[in-house]
A and B are shown apart, each in its own frame.
Chain A
Amino acid sequence: MTTGRRFCSDSRNGHTLRVDTLLQTLKDGLTIGSLYALIALGYTMVYGILKFINFAHSDIVVLGAWLSLVIATAIVKALGLEAGQTAPWWVGPFVLLCAMLVCGLIGFTIERLAYKPLRKAPKLNVLITAIGVSLFLQNTGQLQFVFGTRPQPIPSLLSDQVLFAIGNMQVRLLDLVVIGTAFVLMIALEWLVFHTKLGRAMRAVSFDVRTAGLMGIPVDRVISITFVIGSSLAAAGGFLWALSFTSIKQPADTSWVLLGLKAFVAAVVGGIGNVRGAMFGGLAIGMLEVFGQQYINPALKDVYVFAALIVVLLVKPGGILGKATVEKV
């Protein structure tokens, strides 16, 4: 393994039923779950409005992660820091903001150029276009003068500090930063969607595009804004993901697609199209994965996630927080 995970301290030492192990697992689940939730929000918002699975979303996450790496490396170089030295505190937030801005812009461009001409096309066409966009982003990223085809180490932006520990359970600064950032962003989105005029417009468009348009809502603009918000949340997810590892994988690596798929599963489990559902689903999927890994069989951690998906769809097809919809003729 070239990629060491920074926040998952290895606690699999046989004492699986100890309280500190349980707490450690809970904390890991919370960390990874909040990342899934951030990414799931992008899927769920786009699905809620345009009713298609945006397969290019996971590539925006990759872009966010790699942009963070490139920007962070440049700053560290400009500051003249040596390898292994931790950057000053303001570098992290600055990198995060840059990545979110650029990804938001790219999300906007993609929507305008690729998805907008297909507003009235069959759903499958939009989906193929999304796959095309995903292939495009992946392979552009793989070019030698863009990001290259090799995993790269990311400079350390946070000191590797243990804040407190209970037995085997350690809470690091990194865990707090990941969970904290994710929750701040999610609360901000919650406020935006449920307490502003823009949020009301977004909900209206997702409820019924045509009627929303008749009521004077600028549908195209709302869709564009949705893409920008979803893409910047994805960038934040990518940044936090990059922060959690010592190095990040090349853009076309399958682990990225798997990350995107799990986030999508989280969105479905929570109830696709439902913003709170995506947050809840992300945490649930993260917990499920980490607990399954710790207490059942670590090799099957992907199986738990997808099995949970199938079980939820069989029992409650609308998702845990979703409402059952009745089709009108």
Chain B
Amino acid sequence: MASLQDRAAHFKPSPAGGVWRALWPLVLAIGFGVMMQLVVRPNIDAYSSTQVLNIGIAIILAVSLTIVNGFTGQFSIGHAGFLAVGGYVAGSLAYYGSFAFFGSGAAKLGMLSGLYGAPAGAPIFTGGEVLFFLSLLAGGLISALLGVAVGLPSLRLRGDYLAIVTLGFGEIVRVLIQQTPQVLMTREAIAESPAWKVPLSVGGSLGFGNVPKYTSHFWVYAAVIITLIFAYRLKQSSTGRALLSIREDEIAAEAMGIRTTYYKVWGFVIAAFFAGIAGGLYAHTLGISLSPVDAGFQKSFDIIIMVVLGGLGSISGAAIAAAIVTYLPELLRTPDTLQQFAIVGVPMLIVGFSMLGMARRKGDEAELRSGRDRRALPRVIIGMGTVIVGLSALAFFAKRLNINLSEYRLIIYALALIVMMITRPQGLLGVRELWDGALYRPLRDFFAPRNRSGRGA
């Protein structure tokens, strides 16, 4: 029997371990981003490239909203307002900053920037990218500040008030952006305009399409990795436990000494920050013209749908649902892609889920942990068969009867949403995570060895 002191020593983080724990997410983010930009992107066509980028941005948005709606159980329906604020702030800073520092509003692409990669002979890193990065951060911070302003009054109250206030907030942002003056196109115009008015000239309802187009797979996926790891660590931390306890029972949490308002506002502010970052990335994407509509409720609903479909409180669920929701309406554009999806995509998804022990509605914890489920196989085969036959039949009849499926795709999407909510109300993953499955245990032990194994016992 070791002494208490010896046992305690096991739990004391070593300085080297601390540095590693602080840095590996950054290393992973940069590494993954570089891989996406230099290995994956050149090998896919322009259309898929845009889709992959959109999915990345959607993942950041969905995971950030999960912190409010999933972890804390508060209900925000104005998330797009933060997206728009972050986007406009970052866009305006980068655009007018480029004029101030480089003399024109054009992007100075380095090797890792730009949706279709940089021109040949571009430097590895440019001053423009530094400006871009700083304006992204500024967009996130301003968003977070607004998060305090919106959250502090409304989160004092219990119930749906945050929902109603955030709804109003999104609309106010939209209307206010509509009132902004026209974008200044030339240096002369900027010099003539009063200085305070320059950063506010973001085009009103005409949209703001002149933002330098830096966003690339590198930036988006680096941000995705950071967001995912941040959310994961938040969920494990004491702050995260406080948030989860508020979701489970606010009164009980308060009785246990948790400062509910304080934590609710924190969760909300963190979500606003990441939404702002996503907005900045969105604003700098090639082919995107930021417009006041981006702050509207419809955009907010899209994000909520992702969170609920994925399972409230599940980070990985939100990320997967973000990918599905972004991609599904595109799939329904032609019968051919639909058929391809039915034959390749659906089995992959379902097999993936079932291997991780996720394909069933309920299951006892021990079985889940061992990753084995005897009843899963027949269910998977039946489910897979139904979906493949159904989608193929849809595609077949659409082709045969010459029906333009893309006309009906939003209707199909809406119906799928309703059916999903009725038959599987807990969403894809419920409150579980992908890494709860057995497949991920070796990976998890590698990155977070502290709370596994019998050390210190």
Contact = CB atoms under 8 A, between A and B. Distances in A.
Interface of A: 53, 114, 117-118, 121-129, 131-133, 135-136, 138-140, 143-144, 254, 257-258, 261, 265, 268, 299-300, 302-303, 306-307, 309-310, 313-314, 317, 327, 329
B445 interface: no
25 contacts: A118-B422, A122-B312, A124-B75, A125-B308, A126-B421, A127-B75, A129-B418, A131-B304, A132-B418, A133-B414, A133-B418, A135-B414, A135-B417, A136-B418, A139-B414, A140-B411, A143-B408, A257-B297, A261-B171, A261-B297, A303-B172, A306-B175, A309-B168, A313-B157, A313-B161
Contacts of B176: 303
B172 A307 contact: yes
A329 B421 CA distance: 29
Interface in B291-314: 293, 296-298, 301, 304-305, 308, 312
B172 A143 contact: no
B351 to A, nearest CB: 27
A261 B407 CA distance: 27
Nearest to A52: B160
CB-CB nearest 4 A-B residue pairs: A306-B168, A135-B414, A136-B414, A132-B417
A126 B75 CA distance: 13
Nearest to B153: A314
A132 B414 contact: yes
Nearest to A300: B175
A131 B415 CA distance: 11
Nearest to B301: A131
B207 to A, nearest CB: 15
A314 B414 CA distance: 35
A179 B233 CA distance: 57
Among B161, B308, B407, the most chain A Cβ lie within 10 Å of the Cβ of: B308
A303 B296 contact: no
Given A132-B421, A327-B158, A329-B251, A310 B165 contact: yes
Contacts of B160: 53
Contacts of B179: 299-300
Nearest to B249: A329
B438 interface: no
Given A127-B304, A129-B421, A310-B168, 15 more contacts: A53-B160, A118-B425, A122-B312, A123-B75, A124-B312, A135-B410, A254-B293, A258-B171, A300-B175, A300-B179, A306-B175, A310-B165, A313-B161, A317-B157, A329-B251
B210 interface: no
Given A135-B414, A268-B164, A306 B172 contact: yes
Interface string B11-22: 000000000000
Contacts of B298: 254, 257
Nearest to A325: B159
A74 to B, nearest CB: 25
B171 A122 contact: no
B422 A139 contact: no
Contacts of A140: 411
B163 interface: yes
Which of B169, B176, B410 has most chain A Cβ within 10 Å?
B410
A146 to B, nearest CB: 11
B26 to A, nearest CB: 34
B220 to A, nearest CB: 26
Range class of the B interface residue count = 35 or more
B154 interface: yes
Contact of A129 (B163, B297, B422): B422
B175 A125 contact: no
Interface string B279-301: 00000000000000100111001
A329 B250 CA distance: 10
B231 interface: no
User: Which of B171, B304, B407 has the largest number of chain A CB atoms within 10 A?
Assistant: B171
Given A143-B407, A257-B297, A303-B175, A125 B425 contact: yes
B171 A302 contact: yes
Interface string B408-435: 1011011101100110010000000000
A299 B292 CA distance: 14
Given A131-B301, A302-B171, A306-B172, A313 B164 contact: yes
B167 interface: yes
B227 interface: no
A264 to B, nearest CB: 8
A300 B164 CA distance: 20
Contacts of B251: 327, 329
B131 to A, nearest CB: 32
B69 interface: yes
A302 B161 CA distance: 19
Contacts of B167: 261, 306
A136 to B, nearest CB: 4
Contacts of B158: 327
A127 B304 CA distance: 10
Contacts of B411: 135-136, 139-140, 143
Nearest to A309: B168
Nearest to B305: A128
Given A133-B418, A261-B297, A299-B179, A128 B168 contact: no
B421 A118 contact: yes
B135 to A, nearest CB: 27
B247 to A, nearest CB: 11
B4 to A, nearest CB: 40
Contacts of B418: 114, 129, 132-133, 136
A46 to B, nearest CB: 13
Interface in B149-192: 153-154, 157-158, 160-161, 163-165, 167-169, 171-172, 175-176, 178-179
Of A139, A254, A258, chain B has the most CB atoms within 10 Å of the CB of A139
A45 to B, nearest CB: 16
Contacts of A127: 75, 304
Contacts of A306: 167-169, 171-172, 175
A309 B305 contact: no
A150 B293 CA distance: 20
Contacts of A117: 422
Contacts of A132: 414-415, 417-418, 421
